[in-house]
Amino acid sequence: MLKRENRLTKRKEFNYVYRKGSKLNFGQITIYSIKSKFAFPRFGISVNNKVGNAVLRNKIKRRLRSILCEYVEKIMHKNIIVVAHNEVIDLDYQSLKQLVYKAFSKGKIINEINS
RNA sequence: GUAGCUAGUUAGGCGGUCGAAUUUGCAUUUUGCAAAUUAGGAAAGUCCGAGCACAGCAGGGCAGGGUGCAAGAUAACGUCUUGUGGAGGCGACUCCAAGGAUAGUGCAACAGAAAUACACCGCCAUAUAUGUUAGAACUUUUGUGUUUUUUGAUAUUAAUUAUCAUACCUCCUAUUUUUUCGCAAAGGUCAUGUAUAUGGUAAGGAUGGAAAGGUGAUUUAAGAGAUCACCGGUAUCGCAGAGAUGUGAUAUGCUAUGUAAACCCCACCUUGUGCAAGACAAGGGAACAACAAGAGUUGCCCACUCGUUCCCGAUAUACGUCGCUUGAAUGUUUUAGUAAUAAAACAUCUAGAUAGAUGACCGUCCUUUGACAGAACUCGGCUUACAGGCUAGUCUACAAGG
RNA sequence: GCAGGUGUAGUUUAAUGGUAGAACUCGUGCUUCCCAAGCAUGCAGCGAGGGUUCGAUUCCCUUCACUUGCU
């Protein structure tokens, strides 16, 4: 799981990222990202209110958290928000994992480490 | 055995890897390690009722809102229990917002003579006019005249009717049967018939959810609870019961249908806002206005209280800490009570986050993928959703056997 | 989380408890050499389930969906 340091906690931070960050849309998932001064990444997760139940929404959040946990040491100097949309319900854990990997590699978030 | 009824219970188990929150302890102050705990029966809907907090410590009056059989339970309730009355079921049993319709007002489409109560048709009496005493009227029989008579289609209608086609191709004549109306003759009844006016009557008059207690008789000019019998209703009294009410007797011939989940009347309850409530830490300066306007704490009135905005000031419409979980608590036993529930004893501490933890993945077993569903101040209910599994009953019905 | 509001035809809307009315759209016909406009005509509806009532879009209860404010 993510530690408290690696989360976006305040409403202002969320708004800052939403306004000024770069946006990438992948249908089931959108990703907002922006540079930050911290050495470690900070993640925020938000699930649309129209997705299923409260139970389903919680489940999606937990899965996303466990996936993002793997990227904590690979990414530097970033604030990232992952927004899940209505079609996420049909996805498994594995396909979600692949989708997040695809999104991060396309958005040049992981490649910065290599370069 | 099958089908039910009632009451309750459970809500996948085990193992491995990687992780989150809170508390406690130890080491240490960048933090680390260990242990314990970590979502439901509905956490849901927010439909009721309370606690708690603030406001003037909860003022007066009106309006508004809610509830509505009795007694009891409860902190309180629109909840629960046991009864009463009614409805359903063969039954165990289940369901019911179940006060008042002579306090008043409103509404009741269409249909129907008429919709809350009169009028009309009808029946009857009286008065006037007129007809008839050997036939007006009523009734029976006979004769005679006129109209109609089968089938299908179309249009229309409440019924009917109209048109067209068809039959025996058409027309004419005669006979028989049935129905309606008219005429004539004969027999019977026996004093009234018709019209108009006045009065009586509510038996009958196609409808409708509802037509003024129902059925049958007596009486009457005709009728009518006017009278009687049975059934139903209402009131009083007695008895039983804590009461709703039940039951017996007597009286009343019963005067006004339904709707109050229409307004309303009666009885009882009701201040408002909701933890984004609120508490903690500090105030200072400037501008504008003036006892009016405006604001506060509710729809209105009375009463009462109060200036507003901006800037600075510990990031100050924020953030932090508290509120926050020991509580009308949970479990077991006993006692009281038909029961809801209450009392006592013993034992226990059982989520408390703040972008929001309570998990992710894998393996394995079972009914093979485990339904409905995620705490956000806390309780008591109600309502709604829900795959299955399990337990109990001197429980019920049917079938079979003893 | 707390407090409200609204659901009527494909769309925008109206309504006293007595069987729902308009406008635009859509279909058909007339008109025109053809289209548009115009005229005539038709189809299509009370979010869902119960209750009260003789009768419910309307009154009451439950439920579903959408939506507003506080942030």
pLDDT higher than 70, residue A71: yes
Range of the domain at A11: 4-112
Residues with CB under 7 A from strand B: A 1-4, 7-11, 14, 44-46, 53-55, 58-59, 61-63, 66, 69, 92-94
Task: Tell which wins on pLDDT, A34 or A8.
Answer: A34
The sheet carrying A29-35 orders its strands as A22-25, A29-35, A78-84, A42-47
How far, in Å, is the CA of A57 from the C1' of nucleotide B77? Answer: 37
Q: What number of other Cβ atoms are within 10 A of residue A48's Cβ?
A: 13
- CA angle at residue A49 from A46 to A50, to 5 degrees? 130
ipTM of the complex: 0.77
Residue A115 has pLDDT above 60, yes or no: no
**What local confidence, expressed as pLDDT, does residue A110 receive?**
57
Helix A93-106 to helix A54-68 angle (10° resolution) is 60
- Report the CATH number at residue A83: 3.30.230.10
Q: What is the pLDDT of residues A12-56, one digit of tens each?
A: 667 677 777 777 777 777 888 777 766 677 777 777 766 667 777
Domain count, chain A: 1
Distance of C1' in B159 from CA in A31, Å: 81
pLDDT value of residue A114? 39
Confidence of residue A74 (pLDDT cuts 50, 70, 90): confident
- What is the pTM assigned to this prediction? 0.72
- What confidence score (pLDDT) does residue A113 get? 42
Mean per-residue pLDDT over chain A, rounded: 73
